[in-house]
Amino acid sequence: MAKITWKPGNMLYPLPAVMVSCADREGRDNILTIAWTGTTCSNPPMLSISVRKERYSYHMIEETGEFVVNLTTKALVRAVDFCGVRSGKDIDKWKEMHLTREKADVVKAPMIAESPVNIECRVVERTDLGSHVMYQAEVVSVHVDEAYMDEKQKFHLEDAKPIVYSHGTYFSLGEALGTFGYSVKQQSVRGANRLYTKQQSVRGADRLYAKKKHR
């Protein structure tokens, strides 16, 4: 397979495209879309976001050291894009996108009520990398929409129809291919793959897998 070599650039895709809500010391708040984000530590739970200094939101995060990462869905994709191409210095993105502020538990920045998962974050380290400042932040509280909890208190994020961002395009997720560790479980991989192909939802696949395992 022949490969074309490109000059070095950002090519790590797909990525989550999250909406980050933030506020300054005076309580002015805003939302910006961030794709340069990632989980960086399990214990303590930490994540990072990278923000260009030109962003209106930048001074807010600098001032307070706090923000909320709001996960995004198919229903929110227009807002995701809009919040990533318009600046809060010119418009109120909450109003324009009909997004609702929800009070956070720990940080002062508001959460986006329409998002299925809100992750409250407090910056622990700031690194100026060049075009972007990377904020390493500790997760100080997590809120999940109870609508996606099942009877066994398992959270089904897939039911919220999460989206990803890949090289300039937003996508919804496709079929479930397996669950964590499925490749080393008793059942043959080929069998598992067949099951997952038949079943589109993780929940369905899990149920089938569990049945088979107990036979």
Q: Give the residue at shortest CB distance from ligand FMN.
A: 84
Asked if 85 is part of the footprint of ligand FMN (rule: CB under 6 A), the reply reads yes
Asked if 86 is part of the footprint of ligand FMN (rule: CB under 6 A), the reply reads yes
Which of 64, 87, 193, 199 touches ligand FMN (CB under 6 A)?
87
Asked if 64 is part of the footprint of ligand FMN (rule: CB under 6 A), the reply reads no
CA 162, 166, 167: angle at the middle one, nearest 5? 155
Asked if 99 is part of the footprint of ligand FMN (rule: CB under 6 A), the reply reads no
> CA distances (Å), 53 to each of 60, 61, 95, 128, 144, in order?
11, 10, 24, 10, 30
Let me know: does 97 contact 79? Beta carbons within 8 Å.
Answer: yes
Instruction: Give the containing element (helix H, strand E) for 41.
Output: strand 37-41
Closest CA to 56 of 8, 14, 20: 20
Torsion angle, alpha carbons of 34, 178, 204, 213, to 10: -150
Asked if 171 is part of the footprint of ligand FMN (rule: CB under 6 A), the reply reads no
Asked if 82 is part of the footprint of ligand FMN (rule: CB under 6 A), the reply reads no
What is the pattern of x (binds ligand FMN, CB under 6 A) and - over residues 23-42?
-------x-xxxxx------
Which strands form 117-128's sheet, in the order they lie side by side? 29-34, 18-23, 66-70, 117-128, 132-144, 46-52, 37-41
Asked if 81 is part of the footprint of ligand FMN (rule: CB under 6 A), the reply reads yes
What is the pattern of x (binds ligand FMN, CB under 6 A) and - over residues 41-60?
---------xxx--xxx---
Which span (84-92, 115-123, 195-203, 206-214) binds ligand FMN, by CB under 6 A? 84-92
The residues that touch ligand FMN, with contacts defined as CB under 6 A, are 17, 30, 32-36, 50-52, 55-57, 81, 84-89, 165
